[in-house]
Amino acid sequence: MSNSTGTIFTLTTFGESHGAAIGGIVDGMPAGIEIDERFVQQELNRRRPGQSAITTSRNEPDKVEFLSGIFEGKSTGCPIGFVVYNQNQHSQDYENMRCLFRPSHADFTYHEKYGIRDHRGGGRTSARITISRCVAGALAKLVLRQIGVEIHAYTMQVGNVGIGKDYQKYDLSLSETNAVRCPDLQKAAEMEQLIKEVKSEGDTIGGIIQCVVKGCPVGLGSPEFDKLHAVLGKAMLSINAVKGFEYGDGFDCICARGSEQNDVFYKDADGSVRTRTNHSGGIQGGLSNGQDIVFRVAFKPVATLLREQDTIDMEGNPTVLKAKGRHDPCVLPRAVPIVEAMAAMVILDEYLKNRSVR
Amino acid sequence: MSNSTGTIFTLTTFGESHGAAIGGIVDGMPAGIEIDERFVQQELNRRRPGQSAITTSRNEPDKVEFLSGIFEGKSTGCPIGFVVYNQNQHSQDYENMRCLFRPSHADFTYHEKYGIRDHRGGGRTSARITISRCVAGALAKLVLRQIGVEIHAYTMQVGNVGIGKDYQKYDLSLSETNAVRCPDLQKAAEMEQLIKEVKSEGDTIGGIIQCVVKGCPVGLGSPEFDKLHAVLGKAMLSINAVKGFEYGDGFDCICARGSEQNDVFYKDADGSVRTRTNHSGGIQGGLSNGQDIVFRVAFKPVATLLREQDTIDMEGNPTVLKAKGRHDPCVLPRAVPIVEAMAAMVILDEYLKNRSVR
Amino acid sequence: MSNSTGTIFTLTTFGESHGAAIGGIVDGMPAGIEIDERFVQQELNRRRPGQSAITTSRNEPDKVEFLSGIFEGKSTGCPIGFVVYNQNQHSQDYENMRCLFRPSHADFTYHEKYGIRDHRGGGRTSARITISRCVAGALAKLVLRQIGVEIHAYTMQVGNVGIGKDYQKYDLSLSETNAVRCPDLQKAAEMEQLIKEVKSEGDTIGGIIQCVVKGCPVGLGSPEFDKLHAVLGKAMLSINAVKGFEYGDGFDCICARGSEQNDVFYKDADGSVRTRTNHSGGIQGGLSNGQDIVFRVAFKPVATLLREQDTIDMEGNPTVLKAKGRHDPCVLPRAVPIVEAMAAMVILDEYLKNRSVR
Amino acid sequence: MSNSTGTIFTLTTFGESHGAAIGGIVDGMPAGIEIDERFVQQELNRRRPGQSAITTSRNEPDKVEFLSGIFEGKSTGCPIGFVVYNQNQHSQDYENMRCLFRPSHADFTYHEKYGIRDHRGGGRTSARITISRCVAGALAKLVLRQIGVEIHAYTMQVGNVGIGKDYQKYDLSLSETNAVRCPDLQKAAEMEQLIKEVKSEGDTIGGIIQCVVKGCPVGLGSPEFDKLHAVLGKAMLSINAVKGFEYGDGFDCICARGSEQNDVFYKDADGSVRTRTNHSGGIQGGLSNGQDIVFRVAFKPVATLLREQDTIDMEGNPTVLKAKGRHDPCVLPRAVPIVEAMAAMVILDEYLKNRSVR
């Protein structure tokens, strides 16, 4: 069931870019939660194409319809089926891709694995299928709200333009006020400029999204193979175009000594145990420790270029690929809500699992 | 079942550092495989403490005993139970830790989650429990050998001493000839020197392990949530002290344009499809593409220092921790076989899963 | 994920009787299978209400729409999403049930578990949700056909009218020629007469469905907890109104000695190993042995009666229930295709799992 | 992972009849439970051979050793590994079975599935491997005690000697006072006599075990595929020699009308909702309804006879089997604790799962 994720709060998805619909089933939604469908749609809108000059010009309404599991506005504990019908597809834009393998896409590997593939718009491997994740993530957020957990993801770096890891100096809500979703408005403008330049060259660019989870209870996560950061890492690495994941000090931890890295405990005035620093990124021994959970996700430049590229066809003959269609020059602005959605699902799932440990 | 990993080839583990034994059950081992117990023990020996001046001086024999699933030297397809009895434990070294929370360890989080913990040697959160992973990984390697898959992990960087990502210029087998497990003998000596210095200061240091998987068939991995790199990433992030995972160009991908990152396909003389570069790290669309799979794992400095540290006890009173016991100043040399073991388990599991897709 | 079933070939379902739609996701369908949508719809039609005088008079078209996983008529290996929109609902028929607990229905238990329930037509607990099973079962049958596995279920007994366990004397295809789905036409008429009588009294009646699987390869099923008959049993017991499951000689085995029950092996002229009798019902040690797999499923009388019944409301006050709506007096005729569907899913799943054992 | 069972409270097992040891891992044991090891050993003793004249004369001490997950007498929430070393094996008794297929055993099917098998004492398919179930079941009982759940299984019928389904007229604790484990002492003596007769003829006999679960909270179980009776049914069907499962009125429900079968609700003096009858067997809509859970399990006569039987060898040549070894003429007395153990595991698992539904 590789198209399912989660243990208690679970999502199973279906759909291709140019098929009839994208959708999924959320199983394990706690009962009695008010389902604010407007909020869910808003969350989904955050990943919608056509939002600005730096995202694809496709204009997909992407309206979610709930088919089950909700009765008189509340979750019933039964599975929530939902569907987003595809529209505004230009399948003919992809006819030339039926018989060739696009570089650094999944065409070749899917062809080898399955012997058949839907070549239109990347089929099942299109980032469009993250629609289902946004819907499920929004449902998870509705529950997390009730226990005081907040999740903020934002664009921390695009190419060589970045704002560093220190999020404390920013009002993170500002990230939703600009097209790149960066809380530093000055840097956001620079990032936007960079993306426009890259786009004008028919090229693409990558970057880093940082995510901060506030208010997470102590003790979420599970020992051994399902450590909280391992499950978060898998969730993030499953997002299209992701190449790396780190939490806390991440790869930079190798530059410091243990004596510099260790987070010293103290008892707060309110009686709770805290750490003076947060090199651990809110996770120790695979369990949340009550500090902010902080992690970063690296996205590669989009593989689809609006310029010619050498490649081969299915017989192995050299050919030249000229992408048509409407594509993002940089995936990050639209990936921010997806990072949040995956984080929300993971945190809720671990929260629900944690109810059974004693 | 957070103490289980895998779908077809699975490992479930048990054991604490100072309990009676460490062990596990491998379920899903293909039948009819010759079980070279000497090889398994050798793999286990690679993580054993007391191997050199830069690892802990504990001397644990760590002899694996197989209890089931093997008949007249061959796997039967039934679960393979195994056990490694603990010996040479100095539990009294940890008596002072019964009531305090060591910084950047799991003492506090486990205490909060379970209300009880085995404080001796870190209990379940000790790196000693990776013994089970080495055993299962060795069994997986026995199967992978038969399909021509080879896995090489090695220490790529310790602190600021590193050899870069390009593994093609090294004879990777050299990594097993020195104490730090680095294939560049000159740099290995520098790393060893650095670790000794850090140790003499009662401090610790981290680094990066790179892993290369050669001969992996095309098409391993699964769509959506179980992409090959997501499953590998989770496996690596579940290893003690890991703070980050990246594959292919990883976090560095943000410095390049899409036109520089894309791997161009060509048909090889032998008729197989290859890529001219391998920025993708052998994985495209979440599936192996037949090139070398390449990934890196960041390890933080060990949290246990042989110097005094401020901390608090379970009541929240400030206190000073002075670790006794025998500890590694750098986890990397002994983590190399664990990275390989986890990679072997993941690749074999995906190989077995792949048999059912068409 | 209690709304999912299977390991490799999996079905996850959603939907309530009076919600927007019933549907599901099949994950793990092998790639490259021709999807005969007409066949799937026919299978679904077999459970449709309104087929005869002895089933409910509801007239639901129940048209399945496939939303993904099929490209140019073939399965792609990606998840197959499907949906059946609800129509012809008379939700007002159930308004009086909002506040009371129907006897031997799930109203009380769901209310206690979830604190909320969709009372209309039984909500999630309606037999209508088996629609998804029929669709997935039909997809499984398309694969099983290619490996020569055939599945025949039929009504063996209604009340005290039965035809015994010996299916060899019948042309099983005759079961589809009459309203009760019994291959003995004489007895079928008697059963039909009995159901009509019971219905005329506003009462209901139960019975036994027998299922025969022919052509199943040797060795399907898994040791210990997932023995083939255990997985089949769970699948059958999960069907609405089922009270018992037995295979081979079943409960009657207690009347015989071991010397009478044992099935003696012999080597057939074609070189295959067979048994002279089949008390084992085609399963030995939890694995298929190549003989016909034979099992029986007991269905209770439908709990909804078209006569007054005493019950209580949600406050515990005594009240009288008078069911409106359109209901089946006997569930068996429409349950036959569901038994087949569940059997098909189980056999296919075990077939796919079996590819990895050596 | 067919050698695992459960979702939150899980058991994974290993071991063969004549291998080094039988054992398992319980993952998901709630933390902080006092582990009464003497009680666990007593439960295990209940299935031990050599208890009376009607069970096998093998004398296996079967002493359980806990290897992890328990600290200072309490569960820690970490996996509990345990092992029972095999002793008193007479492997040479089975040498003649290396090359032939015993009738109605798993020799043939395992040989076909795996291409290799441990022929000694039935290997993995021996009833001896239920040792692990007894240990895990005893641990589950320790938790269930704290929430007031009691489980009583007993022999209800052997051959044609039975005491009927009505358990209310018996003091169920009396079942542990006699060799057959039947609460009716008169009938117990008759059953014992029957078993002795059958044994003296070198033959074997089957029967029915009934199990009653008292004090189960309302709402345990899960919708759709994991209905409580479906999960219980699978657990019971996974026990060696089981041929059928039914709950409540079971197969007898077909003799009654709906109006006779329905259980009428009323509000008890203590304010709780009860049913006047319990045809439902304590489960409605797949969820426990607070009444006693009642189910029955049919066991076939043991396949190993102490008389000659015709069979074939691995080449298909006819041969005669003459079992040596020490065998039970009737499996029921020793299966009673296994039925209880499986029931305990299922109920606890569903109890823990239920904590997450709202």
ipTM associated with this complex: 0.97
Calculate the average pLDDT of chain D: 95
What per-residue confidence (pLDDT) applies to D157?
A: 98
Neighbouring C-beta atoms of residue C85, cutoff 10 Å: 17
Q: Which pLDDT band, with edges at 50, 70 and 90, does B56 fall under?
A: confident
Q: Are A353 and D356 a contacting pair at CB < 8 A? A: yes
Q: Is residue C146 exposed (0-12), middle (13-18) or buried (19+ Cβ within 10 Å)?
A: exposed
Strands (E), A201-322: 207-214, 242-247, 265-267, 273-275, 283-284, 287-288, 293-299, 309-313, 318-321
User: Is B90 or B78 the better-scoring residue by pLDDT?
Assistant: B78
C-alpha distance from A253 to closest chain B C-alpha (Å): 5
pLDDT at D49 over 90: no
Chains with at least 3 CB pairs less than 8 angstroms from chain A:
B, C, D
Determine contact: C19 vs chain A, CB below 8 A: yes
Chains with at least 3 CB pairs less than 8 angstroms from chain C:
A, B, D
Block residue for tokens 């569930």: C331
Q: Are A68 and C1 a contacting pair at CB < 8 A? A: no
Q: Are A117 and C13 a contacting pair at CB < 8 A? A: no
* Residue in chain D lying closest to B21 (CA): D67
* Residue B162 domain boundaries: 4-356
Please give the average per-residue pLDDT across D222-242, as a whole number: 97
User: What is the DSSP secondary structure assignment for residue D34, as one 8-state letter?
Assistant: B
Give the C-alpha distances (Å, rounded to integers) separating D274 from C24, D218, D284, D289: 35, 11, 12, 8
Question: CA–CA separation, B252 vs B166, rounded Å?
Answer: 13
What per-residue confidence (pLDDT) applies to B54?
A: 77
Block residue for tokens 């794992």: B297
Beta carbons within 8 Å of D257's beta carbon, 6+ residues apart:
C198, C201, C203, C204, C205, C301
* Residue in chain D lying closest to C113 (CA): D219
Q: What is the DSSP string of C22-78?
A: EEEEEE-PPTT-B--HHHHHHHHHHH-S-SSTTS---------EE-SSEETTEE-SS
Which among D19, D206, D234, D53 has a CA at the least distance from the CA of D129?
Answer: D19
Mutation target among B225, B232, B305, B310 for the A interface, most CBs of A within 10 A: B225
Q: Which pLDDT band, with edges at 50, 70 and 90, does D324 fall under?
A: confident
- Helix then strand count (H, E) for chain B reads 7, 19
pLDDT in tens, A196-227: 999 999 999 999 999 999 999 999 999 899 99
Chain A contact set for D32 (CB, 8 A)? 358
What per-residue confidence (pLDDT) applies to A58?
A: 67
Question: CA–CA separation, C279 vs D8, rounded Å?
Answer: 36
Which among B26, B54, B24 has a CA at the least distance from the CA of B330?
Answer: B54
Chain C contact set for D207 (CB, 8 A)? 254
Determine contact: B306 vs chain A, CB below 8 A: no
Which among B226, B5, B8 has a CA at the least distance from the CA of C8?
Answer: B8
Of all residues in chain A, what percent carry a pLDDT higher than 70? 98
Using N-to-C axis directions, what is the helix angle for D228-237 and D332-353, rounded to 10°?
Answer: 150
Which among C137, C141, C140, C133 has a CA at the least distance from the CA of C29?
Answer: C140
Q: CA B328: distance to chain centroid? A: 16
What per-residue confidence (pLDDT) applies to A57?
A: 67
* Residue in chain D lying closest to C207 (CA): D254
* Residue in chain D lying closest to B4 (CA): D27
pLDDT at C54 over 90: no
Q: Which pLDDT band, with edges at 50, 70 and 90, does C58 fall under?
A: low
Q: What angle do CA D273, D275, D281 make, to 5 degrees?
A: 120
Determine contact: D2 vs chain C, CB below 8 A: yes
Residues D109-148: b if buried by 16+ CB within 10 A, e if exposed: bbbbbbebbbbbbbbbbbbbbbbbbbbbbbbbbbbbeeee
Determine contact: C28 vs chain B, CB below 8 A: yes
What per-residue confidence (pLDDT) applies to D58?
A: 67
Q: Are C238 and D218 a contacting pair at CB < 8 A? A: no
pLDDT in tens, C19-53: 999 999 999 999 999 999 999 999 999 998 777 77
pLDDT in tens, D85-140: 998 677 777 788 899 999 999 999 999 999 999 999 889 999 999 999 999 999 99
Determine contact: A316 vs chain B, CB below 8 A: yes
Neighbouring C-beta atoms of residue A111, cutoff 10 Å: 17
User: Is B87 or A170 the better-scoring residue by pLDDT?
Assistant: A170
What per-residue confidence (pLDDT) applies to C56?
A: 72
Block residue for tokens 């999204």: A209
Q: Are D112 and C251 a contacting pair at CB < 8 A? A: no
Query: Which residue type does D290 have?
Result: G
Determine contact: B226 vs chain A, CB below 8 A: yes
pLDDT at B324 over 80: no
Would you say B32 and B323 are in contact if contact means Cβ atoms under 8 Å apart? no
Q: Are A77 and C2 a contacting pair at CB < 8 A? A: no
What per-residue confidence (pLDDT) applies to B5?
A: 98
Of all residues in chain B, what percent carry a pLDDT higher than 70? 98
pLDDT in tens, C133-159: 999 999 999 999 999 999 999 999 999
> The domain that contains B66 carries what CATH number?
3.60.150.10
What are the φ and ψ backbone dihedral angles of B120, each rounded to 5 degrees? -75, 110
* Both structure tokens of C304: 């909804």
Q: Are D30 and A77 a contacting pair at CB < 8 A? A: no
Chain B contact set for D117 (CB, 8 A)? 71, 76
Chain A contact set for B13 (CB, 8 A)? 224
Beta carbons within 8 Å of D311's beta carbon, 6+ residues apart:
C264, C265, D100, D101, D102, D103, D318, D319, D320, D321
Question: CA–CA separation, D212 vs B80, rounded Å?
Answer: 35
Of all residues in chain D, what percent carry a pLDDT higher than 70? 98
Determine contact: D125 vs chain C, CB below 8 A: yes
Q: Are C16 and A74 a contacting pair at CB < 8 A? A: no
Q: Which pLDDT band, with edges at 50, 70 and 90, does B280 fall under?
A: very high
Q: Is residue C269 exposed (0-12), middle (13-18) or buried (19+ Cβ within 10 Å)?
A: exposed
Would you say A67 and A83 are in contact if contact means Cβ atoms under 8 Å apart? yes
Report the residue from B31, B78, B358 with minimal CB separation from C358. B31
Q: Are D356 and A352 a contacting pair at CB < 8 A? A: yes
What are the φ and ψ backbone dihedral angles of D24, each rounded to 5 degrees? -175, 180
What per-residue confidence (pLDDT) applies to A60?
A: 72
Q: Which pLDDT band, with edges at 50, 70 and 90, does B327 fall under?
A: confident
Q: Are D1 and B68 a contacting pair at CB < 8 A? A: no
Q: Which pLDDT band, with edges at 50, 70 and 90, does C331 fall under?
A: very high
Query: Which residue type does D277 have?
Result: T
Structural domain count, chain B: 1
Using N-to-C axis directions, what is the helix angle for C332-353 and C228-237, rounded to 10°?
Answer: 150
- H or E segment at B343? helix B332-353
Determine contact: A286 vs chain D, CB below 8 A: no
Predicted TM-score (pTM) of this structure: 0.97
pLDDT at A112 over 70: yes
Report the residue from A20, A21, A114 with minimal CB separation from C77. A114
C-alpha distance from B72 to closest chain A C-alpha (Å): 32
pLDDT in tens, D169-218: 999 999 999 999 999 999 999 999 999 999 999 999 999 999 999 999 99
What per-residue confidence (pLDDT) applies to B57?
A: 67
User: Is C85 or A49 the better-scoring residue by pLDDT?
Assistant: C85
Determine contact: C274 vs chain D, CB below 8 A: no
Report the residue from A108, A233, A258 with minimal CB separation from B237. A233
Please tell me the least confidently modeled range out of A163-167, C308-312, D17-21, D323-327. Answer: D323-327
Q: Which of residues 145-174 of D touch C (CB under 8 A)?
A: 157-160
pLDDT at A67 over 70: yes
Strands (E), chain B: 4-5, 10-15, 21-27, 65-66, 70-71, 74-75, 80-85, 100-101, 150-158, 161-162, 207-214, 242-247, 265-267, 273-275, 283-284, 287-288, 293-299, 309-313, 318-321
Question: CA–CA separation, B118 vs D71, rounded Å?
Answer: 6
* Both structure tokens of A59: 């204009």
Determine contact: A63 vs chain C, CB below 8 A: no
Please tell me the least confidently modeled range out of A259-263, D55-59, D182-186. Answer: D55-59
Question: CA–CA separation, C173 vs D63, rounded Å?
Answer: 55
Report the residue from C67, C71, C115 with minimal CB separation from A21. C67
What per-residue confidence (pLDDT) applies to B322?
A: 85
What per-residue confidence (pLDDT) applies to B85?
A: 97
* Residue in chain B lying closest to C33 (CA): B358
* Residue in chain A lying closest to C25 (CA): A14
Please tell me the least confidently modeled range out of A69-73, C315-319, D158-162, D338-342. Answer: C315-319
Q: How are beta strands A242-247 and B242-247 bridged, if at all? A: antiparallel
User: Is D116 or B55 the better-scoring residue by pLDDT?
Assistant: D116
